[in-house]
Amino acid sequence: MRRLWLVFAQAVTVCLAGFFIVATLRPQWLGAPLPAVRPAAPVARPVPASPPPALPAQAPLSYAQAVASAAPAVVNVYTSKHLDGNVSPFQDPELNRLFRELPDLIERRPNTNLGSGVIVHEDGFVLTNYHVIEAADAIEIALADGRQSRARLIGADPESDLAVLKVDLPDLTAIAARSSADLRVGDVVLAIGNPFGVGQTTTMGIVSGLGRNRLGINIYENFIQTDAAINPGNSGGALVDALGRLVGINTAIYSETGGSLGIGFAIPATTALAIMDEIVRTGAVTRGWLGMEPQDITPDLLQAFGLNSEEGVIIASLQHQGPGDQAGMRVGDIVLRFNGQTVTDSIGLLNQIAPIKPGQAVTLSVLRDGKPLELTVRVGARPVARHR
């Protein structure tokens, strides 16, 4: 009996196992309906990012073309002057006597100086700084193509620190110029010159400021400020834009060590070319002059004269029988307007007077003893500073 029960139990177990297998794998064999198949929701797949563009073999940003265009017009300027060797450096009388008895071969010793210049006309006119060629006995220029030549001084304007040279060589490359009026702070500029005599060198920077004055460099100041490296020897060289067009003549730097600190100054090309044209035509620069020295109105003067504004200038001195003196101006007069234009400060007044042709009459609106007064002054010619 026990044996039959075991056989029965095993048979039931095998049947149940077979039923579950069939019901799972082949339910249709048992007549059961197939389960509804629903399509799976599409799986969002990330869109592959576009591959980055391949970098060119050479970076597209370069100023090589600008340098190639401007560099042939930038020259090195070498000057020399002879010093009298009989001037003794000693304080002891006996040493002085021995020094004076030295051979004649040391009686004149050459002293050299160097700077830069810019060819601005195919006829050989070169712009440079006056302080580069001041008191020179001989001037020589060296071109970028290796040629050298003597240059002669056509004329100079010490008050703007400009000089015009003339060189007689064929096939000269003149630089293209750009109006300084549309120059903006932030524009890229290149300084080309011969710093320290190492050879023609190009440095890059931006326009850091415009209309800089009151620097004590020249009488008439309207500088472009740049952080392009300018060093000794760059004076008279070219400041060009990103297309190689002349925008300024490098003139000075602010430095406590003699090297570049990122503060350089250039005379605007528009101003420099106008002065050059006048020098070539007449040999000198003529500026209007009233024969008076203006002074800015300080807060102390503002209070002392009971003024409401710091605009205007006070006449600090007058030249005897000068244009202002002859017109009845007095020391202490406060000039408020020049030909109807507001006078802001002494530098502004000098720049307003300078372009007036000698002989023309101008009107000054002044305040004298607290009362307004109109004066008519006939402009004279500013005395030309003496130079070689």
What is the CATH T-level fold of the domain 64-166, as seen in this structure? Thrombin, subunit H (2.40.10)
DSSP reduced 3-state for 38: coil
| 213-232 residue pLDDT tens | 777 677 777 889 999 988 88
Question: Regarding beta strands 264-268 and 223-226, do their DSSP bridges make them parallel or antiparallel, or are they unpaired?
Answer: antiparallel
107 pLDDT more than 70: no
Mean pLDDT, rounded, of the chain: 80
The yes-or-no answer on residue 161 being catalytic is yes
pLDDT band at 106 (very low <50, low <70, confident <90, very high): very low
Query: Token match 């297998």: residue?
Result: 21
- Give me the half-sphere count of Cα atoms (radius 13 Å) on the Cβ side of residue 337: 11
Pinpoint the residues of the chain covered by CATH 2.30.42.10: 288-381
Q: What percent of the chain has pLDDT over 90?
A: 29
Q: Give the SS3 label for residue 231.
A: coil
Neighbours of 21 (CB within 10 A): 10
Span 299-323, pLDDT tens digits: 777 777 777 777 788 888 888 888 8
Give start-end residues of each CATH 2.40.10.10 domain in the chain.
64-166, 180-282
Cβ-based burial of 322 (10 A; exposed 0-12, middle 13-18, buried ≥19): middle
> Per mean pLDDT, which range of 83-92, 158-167, 169-178, 242-251 is the poorest?
83-92
Closest CA to 179 of 252, 245, 265: 245
With bands split at pLDDT 50, 70 and 90, how would you rate the model's confidence at 388? Answer: very low
pLDDT tens digit string along 141-168? 999 888 999 999 999 998 889 999 999 9
Confidence at 40, pLDDT banded by 50, 70, 90: very low
In angstroms, rounded to a whole number, what is the distance separating the alpha carbons of residues 218 and 212?
11
- CA dist 83 and 89 (Å) reads 12
Q: Where are the alpha helices (DSSP H) in 30-129?
A: 64-70, 93-100
Q: Choose the catalytic residue: 116, 157, 160, 161.
A: 161
Which residue from 185, 241, 250, 247 is spatially nearest to 65, judged by alpha carbons?
241
Give pLDDT, residue 246.
94
Q: What whole-number percentage of the chain has pLDDT above 70?
A: 74
CATH superfamily label, 180-282 = Trypsin-like serine proteases (2.40.10.10)
- Residues 222 and 236: their CA atoms lie apart, in Å, by 16
Residue listed under structure tokens 């193509």? 145
| Strands of 120-200, DSSP E | 125-128, 138-142, 148-150, 152-157, 162-166, 188-193
From the candidates 116, 160, 208, 235, give the one annotated as an active-site residue.
Answer: 235
Catalytic: 317? no
Residue 149 burial by CB count (10 A; 0-12/13-18/19+): exposed, middle or buried?
middle
Pick the range with the lowest mean pLDDT from 75-89, 279-293, 310-324: 75-89
In single-letter form, the type of residue at position 144 comes to A
Annotation says 235 is catalytic: yes
Rg (CA), the chain: 41
Tens-digit pLDDT profile for residues 353-380: 888 888 889 999 988 888 889 989 999 8
The verdict on domain 288-381 having CATH code 2.30.42.10 is yes
Q: Which of 116, 131, 260, 365 is catalytic?
A: 131
